[in-house]
Amino acid sequence: MTTRLTIALASGKGGTGKTTVAVNLASAAAAAGYEVCYVDCDVEEPNGHLFLNPRIRRRYPANVPVPVVDSERCTACGACGEICQYSAIVCINKNVLTFEKMCHGCGGCQLVCPVAAITEKDRETGVVEEGEAGQIAFVHGRLNVGEAMSPPLIRAVRAAGQNKALNIIDVPPGTSCPVIAAIRGVDLVILVTEPTPFGLNDLDLALDMVKELGIPHAVVVNRSEPSNNLARNFCKEREVKLLAEIADDRRVAEAYSRGELAFWSAPGYQAVFDDLLSSIVKEARK
């Protein structure tokens, strides 16, 4: 592969098999000779490492710059509080209060302060860990316990894992800010769903999100059954490409429960994920 590709595996809800598909795709890519990186951006509960068993070579903190107010310089003009959209800094009774865990690190308060009373310090939100699992480069993040804001850490994980020929992003579930931070700028989003009313309801929300962001996308149905046409009909109605269906197979579930990859453990699944990888790369290059 000569052109760098970044593929995101996302889902409107948890439990659809997004990580199962992502780690098996990474293994298929490595076996096919791709220079591949698996990037787990689900920093609140990363679990790709349970299947890939990486050797971690490097750990470092991810920080957010937060304001520090010099009370001797501050004139309590309130400009800092007016620009902050998250109430992370407020002026009350001529006192400026900061709430570090609400700060998004934009630096706006420092820019608007007319007397240069605001500087910044780093606040750690989590750690980034890098390593490798065989021929697969590996990056994930671990959000600090009690930390409410994951996008800064997700952006740090993305920055660390985007320099291979093929980068596979394991995205947090849902459609909120962490998901947008994980998929922004990718070449293709694969929406992994299950053929149930709940799965398709959340797929509908995820489709609206990626369309609003203008990112190319396609659907993979996990735990598919020949007699269940819910997902097929949904994709036809929404005019979204159904790229592949992965069967509801007990062997895959058993491999998952042992922390093993279906690509290596379940007969016939090397071909399944090889075909899926080829379809994804072809779709991403359009």
Q: Which residues contact 214 (CB under 8 A, 6 or more apart)?
A: none
99: CATH: 3.30.70.20
In whole angstroms, give the CA distance from residue 119 to residue 111: 10
In the structure encoding, which two tokens stand for residue 213, read together? 């962001």
93 and 202 in one domain? no
Domain residues for the domain of 248 are: 5-35+164-284
Whether 150 is covered by a domain: the verdict is no
Q: What is the pLDDT of residue 161?
A: 83
Q: Is there a domain that residue 10 lies in?
A: yes
| Phi, psi for residue 149 in degrees, rounded to 5 | -120, 110
Cα 146 from Cα 141, distance rounded (Å): 15
Tell me the mean pLDDT in the region 79-85: 97
Residue 1 confidence class, pLDDT cut points 50, 70, 90 = very low
Alpha carbons within 13 angstroms on the beta-carbon side of residue 262 total 25
User: What pTM was computed for the model?
Assistant: 0.93
Least confident of 46-55, 81-90, 154-163, 169-178: 154-163
pLDDT-derived band at 163, boundaries 50, 70, 90: confident
| % pLDDT > 90, the chain | 95
End of a domain among 93, 108, 124? Answer: 124
Average pLDDT over residues 50-78: 97
pLDDT of amino acid 130: 98
Same domain, 174 and 276: yes
3-state SS assignment for residue 228: coil
DSSP 8-state code for residue 19: H
Query: 11-41, pLDDT tens digit by residue?
Result: 988 889 999 999 999 999 999 999 999 999 9
Is 9 within the bounds of a domain? yes
- 70 and 209 housed in the same domain: no
Q: Is the pLDDT of residue 225 over 50?
A: yes
The whole-angstrom separation of Cα 138 and Cα 150 is 19
For the cut 80, the answer to whether the pLDDT of residue 2 exceeds it is no
Q: How many domains does the chain have?
A: 2
pLDDT band with cut points at 50, 70 and 90 for residue 148: confident
- Which CATH number covers residue 253? 3.40.50.300
Shared-domain flag, residues 25 and 87: no
Residue 114 lies in a domain: yes
Is residue 123 pLDDT above 50, yes or no? yes
What mean pLDDT do residues 272-282 have? 97
Q: Distance between CA 78 and CA 88 in Å, rounded? A: 13
